Amino acid sequence: MSQTKTELLYQQADEDLKRAVQELYRPSSDVVGFSACVYSRRALYKFLNGLAHLHASEKKVILEPELTIDQLITFCSQYNKKLKQIDFSSLDCKCNQILKDGEEEIVFCTSVNRVNYCANLAESVKGILEEKMHN
């Protein structure tokens, strides 16, 4: 995957993360958990996808198309020590379905703390991807 495609995934993920964080900054009684969850999940998926493609390109490995979040975490962890150090164990939605625009897995979290955890995961993966893109 070209650097341009990775940058596009990064930009889309960053926009999704901003929307999730915006939702989470509201008073907890006003937070729409579904929206924050969906945006956090999309951001995490796209950041991981971009990172996976950079590693695949670097290692000259062909990625299976349409990997799940869990598969992306497993793949990227093989090549990235920092990602391996992130604790994804409390991520309830490993998304056994592929995330496509307009289609979301029915399972989602409404707890502000839970969704905040996922937004923080996305932020951590974003930092790793940024570092990888600039090396």
Contact predicate 51/128, CB 8 Å: yes
Contact predicate 71/52, CB 8 Å: no
pLDDT tens digits, one per residue of 78-120: 999 999 999 998 887 755 444 454 554 456 677 778 888 999 9
- For the purposes of burial, counting CB atoms within 10 Å of the CB of 80, is it exposed (0-12), middle (13-18) or buried (19 or more)? buried
CA distance 25 to 62: 39
Measured on CA atoms in the order 13, 71, 100, 37, is the torsion positive or negative? negative
pLDDT tens digits, one per residue of 36-93: 888 999 999 999 999 999 999 999 999 888 898 999 999 999 999 999 999 998 887 7
Counted domains in the chain? 1
CATH of residue 110's domain is 1.20.120
**pTM for the predicted model, two decimal places:** 0.86
Q: Which domain holds residue 54?
A: 3-133
